[in-house]
Amino acid sequence: MSQDSNETAPLAQPPASLDTAPPPPREFSPSEGKAWGIAVAGWLLPGLGHALLRMWGRASVVFVTVGLLVVVGASMRGNLFTSEGNDAFDTLGYVADLGAGSFYFLARAVERGGPDVSHAGGDYGTRFLATAGVLNLLAALHAYEAARGRKA
């Protein structure tokens, strides 16, 4: 054995093409503003974001599904959370309910007797209302991504 085999090889230098500097900040483009507008429209009126993108099937499915979930949840006297929550679960419930957009405000306006979560129906109604909000938020996010040109 020679002495050369005991010596360690020098470490290879990284190629010059690898730059460790952060990329320049991305500028706000008009298409990005349009995408945000479509997302907000889709949140305010479920399905509107997809309708603006001429995705008629998705728009109608989102509108009907979110609308039915809100109607069923409100008719079962589910709890509509308010912004005056006492703990983290109340706040999460409010965010989920608010996700239904204008349907949340409509359900809040027509709510007469208040929630009845002492029965299983009222508890299920609360879940339906939260599901409607989360589904609408996901649909608005999808409309935003589709408006940016990402695969829909």
pLDDT of the residue at 133: 94
CA distance linking residue 92 with residue 74, whole number of Å: 18
- Check pLDDT > 90 for residue 144: yes
pTM for this predicted structure: 0.74
- Check pLDDT > 60 for residue 18: no
Provide the pLDDT confidence category of residue 112 given band limits of 50, 70 and 90.
confident
- 51/8: higher pLDDT: 51
- Check pLDDT > 60 for residue 3: no
Query: Which residue carries 């230098």 as its tokens?
Result: 13
Q: What is the pLDDT of residues 69-96, one digit of tens each?
A: 999 988 888 888 888 878 888 889 899 9
Query: At what angle are helices 120-147 and 88-98 packed, to 10 degrees?
Result: 60
Compute CA 152 distance to the chain's CA centroid, rounded to the nearest angstrom: 15
